[in-house]
Amino acid sequence: MGKAQYSNNKDRAFVKTIQRMLVVPEVPIAFFILVFVVVISVTAQYFFTSSNMLLVSKQLAINGILALAMALSIISGGLDLSVGSMLGALLTFAGTMGLTYHLPYSMVFILTLLVGAGCGAVNGIAIVGLSVPPIIVTLGTMNAFKGVVLVITNGSWFTGFPPVYRQIGNGFIPFSILVTLTVFMSIMMKKTRFGRHIRSMGGSESSARLAGINVKRTKFFVYVICGILVGLATMIYLGRAGVGEPTAGTGYETQALAAAVVGGVSFIGGRGSMLGAFLGAVLMGFLLNGMVSLQISSYYQGIVTGLVIVLALVMEMVRNNYLKRLTL
């Protein structure tokens, strides 16, 4: 074999390797996170410090858990726009149980998860039982949860939580919970029958039914799990902030949606991963914190988030077209 032929074979192997990497959505975003961190660390003096990384980890833990819930609903072929307002409602519930009825922290924790499951069940029953599109149902419950919070709190804050509530929000505990949850849900989606049913249902409900999958039951439990995840995010939020506010969770559904889409979760359903949603949350966390470190006005954060979602959708379309050409 001549040197020219060997060089051509080596170049083709390198190109194929790059192509295989680009097909995996988690690889480009992981690379982009690395580049972004390096650039911001150079331009912002206090970005890559231990205190700021601790702050970022606490912030993205909540958004990350909500992103996992959002990703689960999208992969199943649906959408859950109520995750942010549900967090506010569950925060109000936890505050009432802890401060008004003085229940032990462990009981408040468990009850918050159970009520979260109940809120998710409401979404699931409406979607499955009434055959209403998930975006309509969750848009309705999003506003309903906000209304319930305002009626109960009358716009007042919850303060005076015992120190035990802050333990789950200390140090890197929130981020450790997020990582553990990401691993657990990744295994569930890849290794369990339930996870495979979710992907099949998201790819094609009619095909899933023909394959013997109980689509209604699977869809119902998807939203129940989403509610439980929101309940866990609520307790972490309470542990980090130490107070409850009636506007808590406002806009979180947008952040969760952005993280999931940026992480490669396809809006058409059936495709995406929990790792991708996790990486998307990490990128969004670094992005928002980086803007603060660069002293960019908070008014621009919504604009940046919207542009990131649009860019991620465009990239998803380009990636889908590329995959179609490969299969031809």
Q: What is the pTM of this model?
A: 0.90
pLDDT of 83-105, one tens digit each?
999 999 999 999 999 998 999 99
For domain 28-294, say whether CATH 1.10.3470 is its number: yes
SS3 277: helix
pLDDT band at 308 (very low <50, low <70, confident <90, very high): confident
The pLDDT of residue 35 is 85
The pLDDT of residue 33 is 85
The pLDDT of residue 5 is 56
Q: Could you give the residue ranges of the DSSP H alpha helices within the chain?
A: 3-23, 26-43, 50-75, 83-95, 105-130, 134-153, 173-191, 193-203, 205-210, 215-241, 252-262, 274-293, 301-327
CB 173 within 8 A of CB 165: no
pLDDT band at 45 (very low <50, low <70, confident <90, very high): confident
59 or 139, higher pLDDT: 139
40 half-sphere exposure, CB direction, 13 A CA radius: 25
pLDDT of 167-189, one tens digit each?
999 899 999 999 999 999 999 99
Identify the sign of the CA torsion 163, 95, 67, 289: negative
The pLDDT of residue 324 is 66
Q: Which amino acid is at 193?
A: R
CA terminus-to-terminus distance, the chain: 31
pLDDT of 154 strictly over 90: no
DSSP code, position 244: B
